Structures are given as structure tokens and as C-alpha cells.
Amino acid sequence: PEKFLAKNRLLMESSTLTTAVQALEKLREEAKTSAVSSCEAVKNSFLGGMKEGESWGLRKWLSRHGNALAVCTDLECILKALKALDKDSESTKKLAKLLRPMAEQTLKKLKTDVPSSYQERSSAHPYLPFFHRLESALRDTSQFDPEDDGIICLDDSDDDDVVEVAPPPPPPRKRAAKTTPARKRKTAKRDDFKPPPRKKQETPAPPPPPKVDTPPPPSDDGSSSGSDEECEIVEVVGVTPIGATALGDDDEFLTEKNWRCKNCSAMCPGTADSCITCGEANHNKILGGEIEDASSVLQGGDFEEFEAIVRNSDLFSDDDLPSFPQHCDEDELAAALEEPAPKPKKRKKSPKANKKLDDKDTSHVWPRPIGQEEFDAAVQHAEKLSKQLEMVAHYFRENRENEIRPVVLPASTPAFWRNGENFAEVLELFSRLLQNSEVVHFMKEVDDDLLSQINPQRKRYSHVIKNPLSFPDVVAALFVDMDGNEGDEAMLDYKEGELQCSHLKKWNMWNGKELLMTLDLVLLNSLAFGKMTDEGRSRHRGRTNELRKILWDGIKNIVRINASEEKAKKNHVPVKRGELSGFVVFKYSEGEDNSRT
């Protein structure tokens, strides 16, 4: 509700906006009550639908506050009136020629903005209310052509082929139970029983596969009694080949099937690397590599290394980490499981496996640990900057960028990134990054003195990184909050877009391409410092890579949607640098002074 209020404050009347926000808050509270059941229950409760002729949930809210019902009705009325016009009229042809590209572009934008999980058609799975009505009306409008009369030509042949209809197969006959005639039946006596002769013990051969016999054709007399000469019908049910296993619904690391986002519960396709709704990275693919590493280490018998990998992975939260036995070798562990101790396998350890990843290891001091008070302050600061960036992006959406952006932009600014709509998407991408909890480590400049107190032998941050930056430094190049009033765009003092770094004086943050490269540089600095100081794998490194993936997926999405030609798309994509690039870190020989670089 707060985000909806901030985005629509300048678009809707205050009374209408207040009523809509209150109804949305009520809807959210009702959905919270279903959280004890499952994610699907929360989704069903929030999205709603139709029941006994009455709408509920988000569908009811949209019909009353979002004008979705009115938009669908108006568009369907326009399409109906368009089809009623004279198709031979020149004005009708011109009108159709004008409306087709508009409807096609709107339909493409609709499918791009709405997540694919909400585009499904299913009675058991709720989809976005009014989406399919709007989609159908736009598709029909984009395909309306008065010159196309829709006549289908069929190949008329003089010789009509006679189609012979085969008679249906006769229904299967029920087999009567086979009984022994009374005259052949013998009474079993105890004295008549003779044990079978003993045979030499041999290894039993594997049983042959079951044979399925085809039932004989029905007899002419229609008798169903059967005879001894007729073969019996054997029905094989539930035969599964040996070694065939069925993958369960939770085997998401073994199949490229759809996956559910752990952040917003949206269903995403298996090929997607990030959530199509909120941009959250595919947690299954991230954990897949860690599970393989842990599995290979465990098979080799290195239990200490297996413990280190699990503790430093994202498989468990800090409170749910499994308790591992202390000083437990293979024999003790096998005895505890009441199983024989496996023979150790000889294997060649990879160079990565020699590095132990224990949280208690004093070598892992990057990033600097922060207290709860500092963490809460960083989260509040990030949320405040995120809301302010969304307010600034709203100006660009309304083509009011001249009120805030410098009149004269650098000549190097491409026309693609000068466009207000494209720059608004860049600001919204920046805002989404600030909503991630890992950004708390990027909200302040790195203090070399505090790092030296933890490990005096560690290299100084300013001696490794060329351009120390934080996210607030990037925002400060765009605007500065005058009085700290959160979300009030009138109190922002807009700047010229220049950074304080000496090496980046030529970059301007009002240039969308250079702003994206600066955001990438903030994340690269952390990765590069950990690499240069032999930090190794850590939870912070994994989550920073997730943030960088979200950033570059957003960049590619902006270019893919708004660029028209393939050649132009390659020119619009910013430069993606590596961790050890000379643009990111100082490169000098041992003993050489940093000032010379």
C-alpha cells in the first residue's frame, strides 16, 4: 500500500487514492491470515476470483478502484463498434490501419509487464483479474483488417473420394472362471501325497519378462464358456523397468522444471535465472553448485570440509544450521548409524577443496561485521533512498525531466539513454537493488582503520580499490535530501550528476549508461577486494554475485524491450568488467608504491 500511495500520489485524487489504499491494506491483512496454511493459500486469498456471481480479493479491488473493469468494457465496446462499420469504406480501412499497430504495441507491453505465472488459464490456479479479457480485446483489435473477408478456399475435385468407415472393434468378452470338470476331479488324500524329488541347488535364472497374449477372436456362435485350447488372457499392471525412478515434485535440482520464488511466491519457468515478478535470483540454481560440492566432498570422507561448505552456503539460515558432531571420524559415525564403515576412496582433491570455509576462521573478515543498530540504520537509509528514486523516476515517466535534470547533458550521452522512459527504468532498477538486505554493506565507505583493527596484516582497502564508492555516493550525484522528509520530492536538491572520485570525473549520473556502470562498479569493488586478499568463498560473495546478476538481467531487459535493431542493442549495453580489471583495482609489482599507480 505504501508503494502504491507513493506512485499514484500525483495521478489520482486524494479522496479516491485514500479509499483505494485503505481497501488494499484491508486486502493485505486478509491475505496474511492464510500464511499459516501455505504460499498457495496466500496467493489465492490475495488474487481472488469469482464465486457465485460475486468477485472477491484483488479482482473485486480492481473492479472498484483500479478501473480495470471499465477499461476492459470500453475496449470491447470499441472493438464491437469497429466490426459494425462498413468494411468497404475508405475511412474504415484508414481507422483499422491506425489502430492495429497501437493495439499490437499495447498487447506486447501488457504481456511484458504481467508475469507469466499470472497469465495462466486454470480453474484451480488464480490468474490476474481481467487480464485475459484485455488480452483478447487487444489481440482482436490488432488483427482487425476490413480488407480481409476471411473466405477460405477449398480444393474442389470432380471425383469425390468414397471414404470407407471401418466398423468399431467388438467389445472385449468376459472370461468365465476356469473350473475342473467333476469327472476329472480327484479327492486329495494324505496317503497319496508324495514329496517332489530333490534337485541340485543351482543359481536361479532371472525370471523372463511377463508375456501379454492377445485375446482370440470371438467365435461365430457367441459362446463365452471357452475351451482348454483357448489361451488365457494375462493382464500386466504396474510393471516398472528396473532402475527407473520417478522424480518427485521437490527434485528441482535435477530437472529444468518450473520453480517458485522464495521472496514473492511467484511461479517462474525453469529456464529463468531470476524471478519474473520481483527479480529475485533463482535460489535452486545457486544452491545446485553448493550441493554438488558438498556431495563430492562427503563421498571422499572429508567430513570437516563438508561441515565447512554447509555452514558457508545458503542451504540453511544462521538459526537453522545443523549441529555437527565434534571430533567424529568415519568409524565413530558408522557405528552411530549401525552400519559398517565404508572403505575410504582415493581421490585427488581439487585446489578449491583445500580451502576450508569455516565462519570461525579469522581470515574471513570481509566485509566488516556490523552490529544490529548499524544494520537497522543502513536498512532504513536504503529504504528511504529507494522511495526517493521511485519519485524521481515518476518525473521521467511524465516527461517532466527538464524540471530536475541539467539542461545541458554531456555530448557523450547516447540518445537511447537520454530518453526519459529508459532512464526511468534505470532508476527503478536502482531502487530494486536497494530493497535487497545485502546492500547494508554498500551504504557506507569502507573504513581502513576498522579493517586494520580486525586483521592488521590485511591490505588496506584504499591501496587495492581504485574508485571506492557506495550507493549513497551515487545518489548524492543525482540529488540530496534537504530536510530528511522521506518521500517528499519537493525537498530534494538536484545536482549536476558528477561523482567525487577523481578517476570518474568524466562520468555523469544523469547518463543512464554511465549510471549502470557505476552501480556495477560498487558491487565489483567488494568482489575484487575479497579476491585480492584471498578471502575465498563466503556468503557475502555469493549474495553480491546475486545482486550483480539482478542488475545485469535488468539491463538486458531494458535494452531488449526498448531497442529496435539487433546491432543497436549491442551498442547500448554498458561495459561489463571483471573483478581484476585494471579499471577496478590497482595493479603494481611487489614493493612498488601505490601512489605511482
In sequence order, what DSSP letters do the residues of 566-593 get, joined into one string? HHHHHHHSPP---TT-TTTB----TT--
pLDDT of residue 47: 76
* Contacting residues for 234 by C-beta, under 8 A, at least 6 apart: 210, 211, 212, 213
- Blockwise average pLDDT, block size 10, the chain, 597 residues: 78 81 84 78 75 69 73 85 86 87 87 70 54 83 79 48 58 58 48 52 53 48 43 46 41 54 71 75 57 48 52 48 45 47 48 39 61 88 91 88 76 79 92 91 85 77 89 92 59 87 86 92 90 81 91 90 77 87 76 43
C-alpha angle with apex 390: 385 to 395, nearest 5 degrees?
125
Sole residue written with cell 516527461: 399
Cell of residue 74, nine digits = 470500453
Give residue 57's pLDDT: 77
Report pLDDT for 385.
Answer: 92
Handedness of CA 383, 387, 389, 393 (dihedral sign): positive
Q: Hey, CA dihedral for 302, 307, 308, 309, is it positive or negative?
A: positive
Residues pairing with 51 in the sheet = 54
Burial of 539 (0-12, 13-18, 19+ CB in 10 A): middle
| Cα separation, 459 vs 490, whole angstroms | 44
Alpha-carbon gap, residue 516 to 427, rounded angstroms: 9
What is the sign of the dihedral through the CA atoms of 401, 112, 133 and 140?
positive
Cβ atoms 287, 262 nearer than 8 A = no
Tell me, yes or no, if the pTM score tops 0.75.
no
Asked whether 584 and 521 are in contact (CB, 8 A), the reply is yes
Query: Could you give the CA distance from residue 577 to residue 521 in angstroms, rounded to a whole number?
Result: 8
Closest by alpha carbon to 72, among 61, 62, 82?
Answer: 62
| CA pair distance 535, 455, nearest whole angstrom | 12
Q: Determine the pLDDT at residue 358.
A: 39
**Helix or strand or coil: residue 56?**
strand
How high is the pLDDT of residue 588? 64
